[in-house]
Amino acid sequence: MRDPLFQALDLSEAIMKQFDHEKLKVYHAAIAFVAWSSDLLSGIPKSISVHNQFDRASTSIPLNIAEGNGKYTSADRCRFFDNARGSTLECAACLDVLVAKSLVEQSAAMEGKEMLIEIVSMLVGLIRSNSPSRNV
């Protein structure tokens, strides 16, 4: 099976150096979620306010992971990982709104939430590894 990141970027055959954030499993999971959510959103009218909110929140997850992983201090890294975690939770709420508005089936929302739960778990691990005294 092809790596979701390289599949999304169509670079599966390329052997290339990686940025540090590209080595993180959570980053790959976040990119896979962006691809999944883009497919889901393609069937939702852009005029629905949750469309834009969901698109921005899902995009924010890998962007914050990448930026946070590039920071030098633990506090800076954790701040961005916290933002990514918040965006992940926001995506879960967006899925609930889409279901409540009968724009998405419950089964589709659950599929997305399963991905989001995995992302949150990995982000909590990153936060704890960078700040062992933190309770997340």
Judge whether 27 and 62 are in contact, CB under 8 Å: yes
pLDDT of 24-73, one tens digit each?
A: 999 999 999 999 999 999 999 999 999 999 999 999 999 999 999 999 99
pLDDT at 132: 79
The per-residue pLDDT of the chain, averaged, comes to 91
Looking at domain 47-131, what is its CATH homologous superfamily? Answer: 23S rRNA-intervening sequence (1.20.1440.60)
Q: What is the DSSP string of 20-55?
A: GGGG-HHHHHHHHHHHHHHHHHTTS-TTSHHHHHHH
Query: Which is more confidently placed, 3 or 43?
Result: 43
pLDDT at 18: 87
pLDDT at 1: 47
pLDDT of 64-97, one tens digit each?
A: 999 999 999 999 999 999 999 999 999 999 999 9
Domain boundaries along the sequence of the chain: 47-131
- pLDDT band, residue 133 (cuts 50/70/90): confident
